[in-house]
Amino acid sequence: MARKRLSGPKPEFLGEGTGRTAVAPEAKSMFGAPPIAQVAGESAAQNALRELVDDVARTRAEGRIVLKIPLGDIAPDHLARDRVNTDADELAALAQSIETHGQRTPIEVTALADIAGAAPKYGLISGWRRLLALEKLHDKTGDAQFSTVLALLRNPKDAASAYVSMVEENEVRVGLSYYERARVAAEATKRGVFETEKLALLSLFASASRAKRSRIRSFITLYHALDGVLQYPAAIPERLGLSLVEVLREYPEARGNFAKGLEQGQFASAADEMTALNGLIRLGKQAKPTQGSNVPRAEHLTEGLKIMLKGNKIVITGEKVSPDLLTRLKTMLAKE
């Protein structure tokens, strides 16, 4: 007997085209993927999405994602800036470059305390000139593309680390003058970031030589004496600055003469102010020490060494003071 060939189910038996009730969706799943497979697939997708979100958040926090931040959300004075003056021609050239090619290098910012409705949301660490150039471009053109700045988010462990980052970035990019280095050390100390100016110097300029830090410390004296009076302090060269400090230390009355002379002058350029400062050095040396004071006078032994009699002590100072010099002096005095 021949076997009867089996055929597929007839549509009318499945409720299609008849008055019968259609098969429920959960029943149809019997012919597709099992429900447990669907649950597992959805769970895997959610885990993958969660991992992606976590990776993006971590990458952003590590400063490896460039953010686009509105200019108004950034506080440029979050730190005491180390740049004293901005050359108008250099700033114009930077603005022209950004207008033509766009902002090529992101600035660095840190998130400020998250207070509802508070602004700005970020504090500037480095990139002050780029931020200023964008602000000028936006004021000039009104173009929305200049209303935001590209930035990297940094999370310094404390304010001191933020200052170190700012100084290092500017030293690498454009270099700082001795006055600017002195100013940021003094201002950071004034704000309570460092306990003393000495600690500020050791932290901000840890990679600098001891001699260089000594010169910066001398310029701190100049900063305290003439800040707010000088028009072009960043233009003061090393030798002129140290000469000014020497006069200020040895001739206390000279400080008033310096301030008075500079206040009376309106200098059209940095070169004019430097000429005036050289003249004030000669004038300062004519000032007499304060009456009744016993101010020691230092004499130059050689380049980098000065000697003075201070009471019953002989004091030798300068960059060439070293353990080797002490040994040689002991040997010489032993022969007397």
Instruction: CATH number of the domain at 215, please.
Output: 1.10.10
Domain match, 301 and 271 both: no
pLDDT for position 39: 63
pLDDT for position 138: 92
- Give a yes or no: residue 9 inside a domain: no
**Long-range contacts: 207-214, Cβ < 8 Å, 24+?**
211/319, 214/319
Backbone angles phi, psi at 86, to 5 degrees: -120, 120
Domain match, 185 and 78 both: no
Please list the ranges in the chain whose pLDDT falls under 70: 1-45, 47-49, 51-64, 82-86, 114-119, 173-174, 264-265, 284-304, 310-312, 336
- Give a yes or no: residue 47 inside a domain: no
**Domain limits for position 304:** 297-336
pLDDT for position 134: 92
pLDDT for position 12: 57
CA dihedral 199, 200, 205, 207 (to 10 degrees): 30
Domain match, 277 and 236 both: yes
Of the candidates 86, 88, 83, 125, the one whose C-alpha atom is nearest the C-alpha of residue 106 is 125
pLDDT for position 292: 46
Burial (0-12, 13-18, 19+ Cβ within 10 Å), 97: middle
- Give a yes or no: residue 13 inside a domain: no
pLDDT for position 120: 75
Span 192-234, pLDDT tens digits: 889 999 999 999 998 888 899 999 999 999 999 888 888 888 8
Q: What is the CA radius of gyration of the chain?
A: 35
Domain match, 288 and 210 both: yes
Domain match, 115 and 146 both: yes
- Give a yes or no: residue 25 inside a domain: no
Tokens 């030293």, residue located: 171
DSSP letter string, 224-277: HHHTTT-S-GGG--HHHHHHHHHHHHH-TTHHHHHHHHHHH---SSHHHHHHHH
150 within 8 A of 106, measured Cβ to Cβ: yes
User: Cα(256)–Cα(235) distance, rounded to whole angstroms?
Assistant: 22
Q: How far is CA 224 from CA 190, 227, 245, 300, 327, in A?
A: 11, 6, 11, 25, 36
Domain match, 148 and 194 both: no
153 within 8 A of 109, measured Cβ to Cβ: yes
- Give a yes or no: residue 38 inside a domain: no
Domain match, 133 and 206 both: no
Q: Which two tokens stand for residue 160?
A: 């001191």
- Give a yes or no: residue 11 inside a domain: no
pLDDT for position 3: 61
Cα dihedral 215, 221, 224, 226 sign: negative
Q: Encode 117-136: b = buried (16+ Cβ within 10 Å), e = exposed.
A: eeebbbbbbbbbbbbbbbbb
Instruction: CATH number of the domain at 143, please.
Output: 3.90.1530.10
Domain match, 289 and 183 both: yes
- Give a yes or no: residue 287 inside a domain: yes
pLDDT for position 137: 92
Does the bond joining 76 to the residue before it have cis omega, within 30 degrees of 0? no
Span 141-160, pLDDT tens digits: 999 999 999 998 888 878 88
pLDDT for position 200: 92
Domain match, 188 and 204 both: yes
Domain match, 195 and 238 both: yes
- Give a yes or no: residue 6 inside a domain: no
Q: Which two tokens stand for residue 66?
A: 């460039």
180 within 8 A of 84, measured Cβ to Cβ: yes
Domain match, 198 and 291 both: yes
Domain match, 249 and 145 both: no
Domain boundary among 129, 158, 187: 158
pLDDT for position 254: 74
Domain count, the chain: 3
Q: What is the pTM of this model?
A: 0.59
